[in-house]
Amino acid sequence: MGVTERQRHYLDAMGIPVWISRDAAVPEAAVDDAVAFDVAAEWRALEAQVAACTRCELHKTRTQTVFGVGSHEARLLIIGEAPGADEDRQGEPFVGRAGKLLNEMLRAIGLQRETVYIANILKCRPPNNRDPRPEEVVSCEPWLKRQIELLRPQVILAVGRIAAQNLLKREERIGAMRGQRYHYGDGEIPVVVTYHPAYLLRSPKEKRKAWEDLKRVRRLLSE
Ligand code: URA
């Protein structure tokens, strides 16, 4: 009985060599249980590391870190910019007005918030919601990278300029990035870029374009 590709990925990510005897009759369900247990432990360990992070100055002003939320089985990963005041208080990304709109956007393509995973470029709130500084993004990057390794999403949706530019290492305006085909990392995960829900609250006319982006997400998820 072999190890599936997905199981092998998790075992590799955890640095566990796969030695399976040709004759070994390990029930697949037992391998699944063991992998799921270890992956859950990896997520918990990562969250604890993030909670204790002091890599940049933002740890001094945060109420708490905002790690990310959602299903560890999610096929869609949504990446935003950084926690705002509501998120800093509640410890969860996208819980304010922009979060409500994000939930509606997800519902429009038949997804519940609980079934996707939501994270940010930064895990701590920048004071007065200023833009993240380059050194803060660099400090925080390994955490998001590890989340992506553990999750292995089928599609990433980057919401807003800051998320798109930092994830994709590009400098174009959001309007120029929307509608382009991008990929993240060696796994070549497709990345869809769209407007930030906070911007859509200010510019509802642009919702039509965001709807086009969401339809692309839906198509990619169904492939
Ligand atoms: N805006 C973001 O980019 N992320 C949040 O978590 C909340 C608002």
| pLDDT of the residue at 111 | 98
| Contact indicator for 94, 111 with CB cutoff of 8 Å | no
Q: Model confidence at 1, in pLDDT bands (50, 70, 90)?
A: very low
| pLDDT of the residue at 19 | 67
Between CA 66 and CA 93 the distance in angstroms is: 6
State the amino acid at position 47 in one-letter form: E
* The CATH number of domain 64-222 is 3.40.470.10: yes
| Contact indicator for 167, 122 with CB cutoff of 8 Å | no
| Contact indicator for 177, 94 with CB cutoff of 8 Å | no
Between CA 127 and CA 61 the distance in angstroms is: 7
pLDDT in tens, 101-148: 999 999 999 999 999 999 999 999 999 999 999 999 999 999 999 999
Q: How many CB atoms lie within 10 A of CB 70?
A: 20
| pLDDT of the residue at 104 | 98
How many Å lie between the centroid of ligand 1 and the Cα of residue 92? 9
Compare 32 and 207 and report the one with higher pLDDT.
Answer: 207
Residues lining ligand 1, judged by CB closer than 6 Å?
Answer: 80-84, 87, 93-94, 98, 120
pLDDT in tens, 27-61: 778 778 877 789 999 999 999 999 999 999 999 99
- Domains of the chain, residue spans: 5-49, 64-222
pTM for the full predicted model:
0.87
How many Å lie between the centroid of ligand 1 and the Cα of residue 137? 15
Between CA 191 and CA 182 the distance in angstroms is: 5
| Contact indicator for 93, 68 with CB cutoff of 8 Å | yes
How many Å lie between the centroid of ligand 1 and the Cα of residue 204? 18
Say which residues have a Cβ less than 8 Å from residue 39's Cβ, sequence separation at least 6: 10, 14, 72, 150
- Helix, strand and coil content of the chain, in percent to the nearest 5, comes to 50, 10, 35
Between CA 220 and CA 207 the distance in angstroms is: 20
| pLDDT of the residue at 22 | 56
Give 102-146 as a 3 state SS string.
Answer: HHHHHHHCCCCHHHCEEEECCCCCCHHHCCCCHHHHHHHHHHHHH
